[in-house]
């Protein structure tokens, strides 16, 4: 850590990880409700649980992005953050908003568009927090060195704020509502969030592999170009069946199929950089998470997204457990892993501890990733069964759900393992530092 | 091939191309907006009651169990065509009564069955909700869902 103000990131990461704990815990409860549907059905019905699960996910990922930005921008810009005080004020606003939303949901205070259930005052708080953030980081970048990483990161973060404004528009025509709802949801996760993701991955590669900045930044521009060239018109895959014109079936199918490309490019990029590395960075756990992020995002967002994106397929799979399968692995691969990667990288510096529990952290990667993969497989199987019975044979929804019970039990098991992995991760970061479980041998001479 | 591409060329392609795709996307959604308002959702007017129904739908966070036009949670049935599933296209009064009765009878308390909460809606709100479902069922969705089961 070269700049004092980078320390701001620590507070952001701690709050983010606390919400991560909330997210996986509520996720586990919701997974249990699928198996034992009478559980909590009056106290905390499923709709409330799901709001808590998805909203805490979104907010902790955003807090992680903000923390990552505060961590990396000083190093990239070679200057202290414009105002540390503003950064903490921003965090305080977002924490009050997040807590207000969570507590409010429990007492049935919410709006009702999926993922945008926050009451208006929370939405406005988010906008104010985002404006403070953008002012703060933009001023920092303006007074310091400008790099491709900060350019792309800032563009992504500005995009997040701008597209969020569409959440304030709620027309009474459901089809129009849905069209602009996707301006927030799709243009975030399959648009500007990818810019943030690519920029953070580029920063991690720069630091950990020591490959030339010129090479890394060229990759970065190529990746984000692929992201937006495919992702913007790829929104069309949400415009198949909501009342929008039929030409979206072709535009959506073609461009969203190509959305695989930026994720594949991220796999090529990260593995190439590690292959060509010029230094051995001691933080292998962070490297593992970064490589894992690229691979799991490619499968979760790329392959699993492609699986049901062609309109002829989507006609049958739309809104089944296939979508749930894709959603889970895409978010875990692309954005959860990314956040855990940058936290794994930055935390030892922020907490001033070296060495730290790397082996435990790497184990948590394998436990969480394999559990998420298993969850994705079970939901995919469930979705295939559902698609056939409900959409081809025309059986009733609840009748079909009863036949998917086995998969929901398996998914609950996977959920338990995700929570175990998350606890291991948190322990590796915050628990006492112990000698590594496996001693590292750094004396070996290169083989002839 | 990748070597021939310089960083500044990559940057220019990114900015220029993204702007172009953004403009195409925004113009197409503008065209779609007009199409939705004038064509695909024009079969039935959005009355005050339909708008209230949408508000009731949102206020009770129905979308976090159900789906509507395939979007939402996947815990409970699709409601975009629920009006048709209850026979509303043939017997409007019968479907209205059936949906309202169903809503009032929740939760079922049946062991091992997914539970829908009791939302204690007024008669006006229930009617508005049915009006909303009736309106949604008339949207031209390119024949989605494939079966009336949703």
pLDDT in tens, A379-406: 999 999 999 999 999 999 999 999 999 9
Q: Look at residues B134, B140, B129 and name the one whose alpha carbon lies nearest to residue B56.
A: B129
Q: Look at residues A276, A279, A334 and name the one whose alpha carbon lies nearest to residue A304.
A: A334
Identify which of B7, B72, B139 has the shortest CB distance to residue A217: B7
Chain A interface, best mutation among B16, B71, B77, B83, by max A CB count within 10 A: B71
Nearest residue on chain A to B64, judged by CA atoms?
Answer: A47
Chain A interface, best mutation among B14, B23, B72, B111, by max A CB count within 10 A: B14
Stretches in chain B below the pLDDT threshold 50: none
CB count in 10 Å sphere of residue A318: 25
Question: CA–CA separation, A427 vs A358, rounded Å?
Answer: 11
Q: Is the pTM of this model over 0.80?
A: yes
Task: Average the pLDDT over A135-158 and give the result.
Answer: 97
* pLDDT one-digit tens code per residue, A46-72: 999 999 999 999 999 999 999 999 999
Residues A188, A166 contacting (CB under 8 angstroms)? no
Nearest residue on chain A to B71, judged by CA atoms?
Answer: A319
- Give the closest-approach CA distance of A315 to chain B in angstroms: 7
Task: Average the pLDDT over A330-345 and give the result.
Answer: 98
The pLDDT value given to residue A446: 58
DSSP per-residue letters across B78-143: B-TTHHHHTTTTT-HHHHHHHHHHHHHH-----TTS--PPP----HHHHHHHHHHHHHHHTS--TT
Chain B interface, best mutation among A242, A276, A400, by max B CB count within 10 A: A242
CB contact under 8 A, A179 and B33: yes
- Distance (Å) of CA A29 to CA A132, A224, A250, A411, A415: 35, 37, 40, 12, 9
* pLDDT one-digit tens code per residue, A291-326: 999 999 999 999 999 999 999 999 999 999 999 999
> A434 pLDDT band (50/70/90 cuts)?
confident
| Torsions phi, psi for A335 (to 5 deg) | -105, -35
- Give the closest-approach CA distance of A320 to chain B in angstroms: 6
Average pLDDT, rounded, for chain A: 96
The pLDDT value given to residue B1: 56
The answer to whether the Cα torsion of B94, B96, B102, B105 is positive or negative is negative
> A444 pLDDT band (50/70/90 cuts)?
low
The pLDDT value given to residue A354: 79
The pLDDT value given to residue A442: 66
The pLDDT value given to residue A100: 94
Nearest residue on chain B to A252, judged by CA atoms?
Answer: B25
* pLDDT one-digit tens code per residue, A358-382: 999 999 999 999 999 999 999 999 9
Q: Look at residues B73, B68, B74 and name the one whose alpha carbon lies nearest to residue B135.
A: B68
> Does A239 lie at the interface with B, CB-CB under 8 angstroms?
yes
- Give the closest-approach CA distance of B100 to chain A in angstroms: 19
Residues of A in contact with B116 (CB under 8 A): 45
- In the predicted structure, residue A443 carries a pLDDT above the cut 80: no
The pLDDT value given to residue A447: 58
Q: Look at residues A284, A323, A403 and name the one whose alpha carbon lies nearest to residue A114.
A: A323
> Does A58 lie at the interface with B, CB-CB under 8 angstroms?
no
The pLDDT value given to residue A440: 74
The answer to whether the Cα torsion of B55, B57, B62, B66 is positive or negative is negative
- In the predicted structure, residue A448 carries a pLDDT above the cut 60: no
Identify which of B41, B65, B67 has the shortest CB distance to residue A47: B65
* pLDDT one-digit tens code per residue, A243-260: 999 999 999 999 999 999
The pLDDT value given to residue A1: 82
| Torsions phi, psi for B68 (to 5 deg) | -135, 120
| Torsions phi, psi for A3 (to 5 deg) | -120, 135
Q: Please tell me whether residue A378 adopts helix, strand or coil conformation.
A: helix
Residues of A in contact with B42 (CB under 8 A): none
Chain B interface, best mutation among A221, A251, A399, A402, by max B CB count within 10 A: A221
> Does A404 lie at the interface with B, CB-CB under 8 angstroms?
no
CB contact under 8 A, B142 and A246: yes
Nearest residue on chain A to B66, judged by CA atoms?
Answer: A47
Residues of B in contact with A242 (CB under 8 A): 69, 71, 139, 141
First to last CA, chain A: 37
Identify which of B50, B109, B147 has the shortest CB distance to residue A390: B147
Residues of B in contact with A228 (CB under 8 A): 14, 17-18, 21-22
Q: What is the ipTM of this complex?
A: 0.97
Lookup result for tokens 């628990």: A431
> A445 pLDDT band (50/70/90 cuts)?
low
Residues of B in contact with A37 (CB under 8 A): 112-115
């Amino acid at each position: 850590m070269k700049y004092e103000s980078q320390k701001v990131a620590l507070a952001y990461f701690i709050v983010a990880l606390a919400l991560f704990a909330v997210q996986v815990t509520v996720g586990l409860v919701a997974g249990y409700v699928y198996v034992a549907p009478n559980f909590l059905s009056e106290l905390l019905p499923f709709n409330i649980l799901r709001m808590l699960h998805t909203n805490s996910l979104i907010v902790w990922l955003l807090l992680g992005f903000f923390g990552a930005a505060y961590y990396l921008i000083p190093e990239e810009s070679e200057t202290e953050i414009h105002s540390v005080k503003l950064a903490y004020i921003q965090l305080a606003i977002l924490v009050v908003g997040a807590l207000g939303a969570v507590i409010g949901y429990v007492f049935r205070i919410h709006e009702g568009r999926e993922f945008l259930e926050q009451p208006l005052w929370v939405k406005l708080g988010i906008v104010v927090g985002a404006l403070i953030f953008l002012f703060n980081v933009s001023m920092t970048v303006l007074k310091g060195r400008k790099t491709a990483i900060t350019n792309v990161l800032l563009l992504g973060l500005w995009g997040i704020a701008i597209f969020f404004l569409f959440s304030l528009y709620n027309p009474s025509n459901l089809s129009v509502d849905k069209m602009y709802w996707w301006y927030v949801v799709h243009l975030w996760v399959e648009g500007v969030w990818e810019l943030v993701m690519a920029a953070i991955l580029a920063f991690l590669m720069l630091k950990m592999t020591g490959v030339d900045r010129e090479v890394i930044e060229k990759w970065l521009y190529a990746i984000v170009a692929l992201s937006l060239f495919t992702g913007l018109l790829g929104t069309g895959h949400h415009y198949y069946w909501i009342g929008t014109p039929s030409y979206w079936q072709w535009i959506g199918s073609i461009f969203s199929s190509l959305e695989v490309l930026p994720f594949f490019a991220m796999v090529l990029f990260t593995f190439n950089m590690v292959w060509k590395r010029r230094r051995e960075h001691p933080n292998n756990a962070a490297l593992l998470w970064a490589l894992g992020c690229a691979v799991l995002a490619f499968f979760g967002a790329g392959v699993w997204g492609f699986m049901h994106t062609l309109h002829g397929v989507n006609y049958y799979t739309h809104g089944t457990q296939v979508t749930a399968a894709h959603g889970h692995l895409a978010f875990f691969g692309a954005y959860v892993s990314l956040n855990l990667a940058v936290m794994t990288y930055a935390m030892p510096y922020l907490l001033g501890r070296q060495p730290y529990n790397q082996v435990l952290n790497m184990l948590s990667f394998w436990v969480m990733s394999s559990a998420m993969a298993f969850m994705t497989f079970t939901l995919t199987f469930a979705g295939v069964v559902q698609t056939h019975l409900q959409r081809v044979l025309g059986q009733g929804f609840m009748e079909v759900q009863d036949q998917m019970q086995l998969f929901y039990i398996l998914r609950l098991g996977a959920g338990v393992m995700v929570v175990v992995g998350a606890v291991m991760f948190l322990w590796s970061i915050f628990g006492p530092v112990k000698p590594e479980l496996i001693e590292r041998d750094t004396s070996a001479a290169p083989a002839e | 091939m990748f070597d021939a591409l310089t960083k500044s060329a990559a940057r220019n392609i990114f900015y220029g191309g993204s702007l172009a795709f953004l403009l195409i996307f925004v113009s197409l959604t503008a065209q779609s907006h007009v199409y939705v308002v004038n064509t695909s959702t024009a079969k039935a007017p959005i009355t005050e009651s339909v708008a209230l129904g949408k508000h009731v739908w949102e206020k009770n966070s129905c979308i976090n169990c159900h789906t509507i036009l395939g979007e939402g949670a996947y815990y409970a049935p699709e409601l975009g065509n629920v009006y048709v599933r209850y026979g509303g296209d043939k017997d409007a009064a019968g479907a209205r009564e059936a949906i309202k009765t169903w809503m009032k009878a929740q939760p079922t308390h049946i062991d091992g069955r997914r539970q829908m909460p009791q939302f204690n809606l007024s008669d006006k709100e229930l009617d508005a909700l049915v009006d909303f479902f009736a309106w949604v069922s008339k949207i031209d969705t390119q024949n989605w869902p494939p079966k009336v089961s949703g």
